[in-house]
Amino acid sequence: MFKKILIANRGEIACRVIKTARKMGIQTVAVFSEADRDALHVELADEKVCIGPAPSKESYLVMDKIIAACKKTGAEAVHPGYGFLSENEEFARRLEEEGVTFIGPKHYSIGKMGDKIESKKLAKAAGVSTIPGHNEAISGPGEAVRIAQEIGYPVMIKASAGGGGKGLRVAWNDAEAREGFSSCVNEARSSFGDDRVFIEKFVQEPRHIEIQVLGDAHGNYVYLNERECSIQRRHQKVIEEAPSPFIDPETRKAMGDQAVALARAVKYESAGTVEFVVGADKSFYFLEMNTRLQVEHPVTEFITGLDLVEQMIRIASGEKLAITQNEVKIDGWALECRINAEDPFRGFLPSTGRLTKFFIPGASDYLRVDTGVYDGGEISMYYDSMIAKLIVHGATRDEALGRMRDALNAFVIRGISSNIPFQAALMKHPRFQSGNFNTGFIAEEYPQGFDASMVPHDDPALLISVAAFVHRCYQDRAAKVSGQLPGHERQVGDHWVVIRGGEWHPVVARPTLGGYEVEYKGRKYRILSGWRLGQSLFNGTCNGEPFTLQVERHRLVYQIHHWGTRADMMVMSARAAELLAMMPEKAPPDLSRFLLSPMPGLLREISVAEGQEVKVGEKLVVIEAMKMENILKAEHDCKVKKISAAIGESLSVDQVIIEFES
């Protein structure tokens, strides 16, 4: 067994590998960019080596620097995590030549499966079901349109070296095929250094289901059941679960046997994942093989009891698989939510900055949080948007769903926006709860995007009562301030008005032992809690029923988060509410003459010039944030008056990029 391994990655996956290595008694080496000098994985590792500036192409993607770090520290093996160099054939080969073990498949397996065009040919030869398409690299946008027309729209344009939703577009017509080709080429070149793309038929109403496989150097192979990964937004997974609510034992075995046949065909030695698209009739087609550990591997670990990182390390050290196919189990149900740094109320745009508060739910035998950040840490614009993975396990799917809802309520992130409200809303969605969904679920259920009004709360009286509780706490403290004139001390009344969305909700809030009793619409809500002023997390009981929610005070507004609902409420006396109703509302400024940056990011392209007439729908600029290209288009016909930003500039949120003539 290895004595020391280097992790050629960052963030939560680097922390995840360190955790298992420590359990196995193996020392670890962290590599880090200048932007990650204070990152959690650097703190957790036994040794650390700086490998360059913030951009990944100057640090985490530079093989020479990582190999030099291995020599400097004496690391015998490298775990690549996922992303970066994890599926790079040359990197695996160079490590082998340097006498360093690559904790993953051999370079020739990566080469065969990492190229999506060649992998489809190999899969077909191995007897694996494949999807119709053009499996050769496309030379230009014109050829992309011609091939798309031959296959028939809709089609998927995919980078040959792509992954994680990058370098992938769905085109429904010629214009989208041209634009999608260009975007895929650019993203693929930037993220993977390989700009080849190909086209295949887009199967409508598909499910995305993948099979986890393990193979060793002794010819032993097993599949560890399936993962359901159909809940996706912009082709990036949002929620994963194992097993799938759709797959029956016969289909599971058929998919598993094909996945093992493919792994055997390429002499695969490590953990790998064979991805399939599955139709409504349970017909399935090979998509690709990921020759690395998957982001969503924890759900498989929960239901099988296996540590996949440990399995990878043991296989790389030459050990035989310790488990046979007959011993692979399905114990209960597991769910994973990807907690991303993005604002669901602003079209899921990236959100970067400092984590002013970061409190995760307490770990247990059924709850786990994998993360690479900490309270006070920084979310950088240079890397992907994932903050953490929240994973729960239950005896049944319903139990796992309930535990996930509770865990999301208790996950506190402040300083940046996160997709927790959206995840919580998905957990409450009847269609998701039923298991009747496909990869189009989010686009179908949220065609205009997501906002808080889409999540009606089951018990609005609870939110109103908690707002009254919190306000009364603040008022009672204020009444205890010293130095008050004797005989004229502040008196706190019991009668209040909670204002939410312009609606008045009269309440009575009286102290009771351990909390307050709130009377609302003739009913009494006895809320008991040890909550203290300023705390974000509110744990308590309402009439004996336990609940967890989050509350923030912003001047006069109490913002309450629960089950995906965000309720903004003010609490005041009836007289104060009457006076507030007479206050004139301030009109918002007219920003229609400006193109503002909707996110922090790098201005990659400006497609117009000063004085140019622009038609609605024309491309204006391209902003790159968190490794994704975002194209901003004209919302109406206009004329460019002034360009206020330069290509290559780092933009802040709402920074003016272009001013139009009025």
pLDDT digit string (tens) for 597-630? 988 888 999 999 999 999 999 999 999 887 778 8
Question: Which tokens belong to 212?
Answer: 């986890």
Residue appearing with tokens 């020599």: 71
pLDDT of residue 32 exceeding 70: yes
- For residue 288, indicate whether it is catalytic: yes
pLDDT attached to residue 160: 82
Amino acid at 102: F
Question: Which tokens belong to 104?
Answer: 């993953």
pLDDT of residue 452 exceeding 70: no
User: How confident is residue 164, by pLDDT bands cut at 50, 70 and 90?
Assistant: low
What mean pLDDT comes out for the span 79-99?
Answer: 96
What mean pLDDT comes out for the span 300-311?
Answer: 98
pLDDT attached to residue 131: 81
Q: Where are the alpha helices (DSSP H) in 446-509?
A: 460-478
pTM of the entire structure?
Answer: 0.84
pLDDT attached to residue 553: 95
**Within a 10 A sphere around the Cβ of 25, how many other Cβ atoms?**
9
- How is domain 133-201 classified at the CATH fold level? Dna Ligase; domain 1 (3.30.1490)
What mean pLDDT comes out for the span 636-641?
Answer: 92
End-to-end CA distance of the chain: 70
| Each residue's pLDDT tens digit, 178-214 | 999 998 988 888 878 888 888 988 877 899 999 999 9
pLDDT of residue 14 exceeding 70: yes
What mean pLDDT comes out for the span 390-413?
Answer: 97
The answer to whether the Cα torsion of 374, 380, 383, 386 is positive or negative is positive
pLDDT attached to residue 224: 98
| Each residue's pLDDT tens digit, 255-276 | 999 999 999 999 999 999 999 9
> What CATH number does the domain located at 594-660 have?
2.40.50.100
pLDDT attached to residue 653: 85
pLDDT of residue 379 exceeding 70: yes
pLDDT of residue 290 exceeding 70: yes
Cα(360)–Cα(368) distance, rounded to whole angstroms? 10
| Each residue's pLDDT tens digit, 469-503 | 999 999 999 998 888 898 888 889 999 999 998 89
| Each residue's pLDDT tens digit, 209-262 | 999 999 999 999 999 999 999 999 988 899 999 999 999 999 999 999 999 999
User: How confident is residue 360, by pLDDT bands cut at 50, 70 and 90?
Assistant: very high
Sequence-distant (6+) residues with CB within 8 A of 41 are 7, 9, 10, 11, 14, 15, 18, 30, 32, 372
Spell out the domain ranges in the chain. Answer: 4-103, 133-201, 207-454, 460-480+492-581, 594-660
Contact 168, 212 (CB under 8 A): no
> What CATH number does the domain located at 460-480+492-581 have?
3.30.700.30
Spot the catalytic one: 226, 288, 336, 629: 288
What mean pLDDT comes out for the span 112-128?
Answer: 88
- How is domain 207-454 classified at the CATH fold level? D-amino Acid Aminotransferase; Chain A, domain 1 (3.30.470)
CATH number of this structure's domain 4-103, picked from the four choices 3.40.50.2300, 3.40.50.20, 3.90.700.10, 2.40.37.10: 3.40.50.20
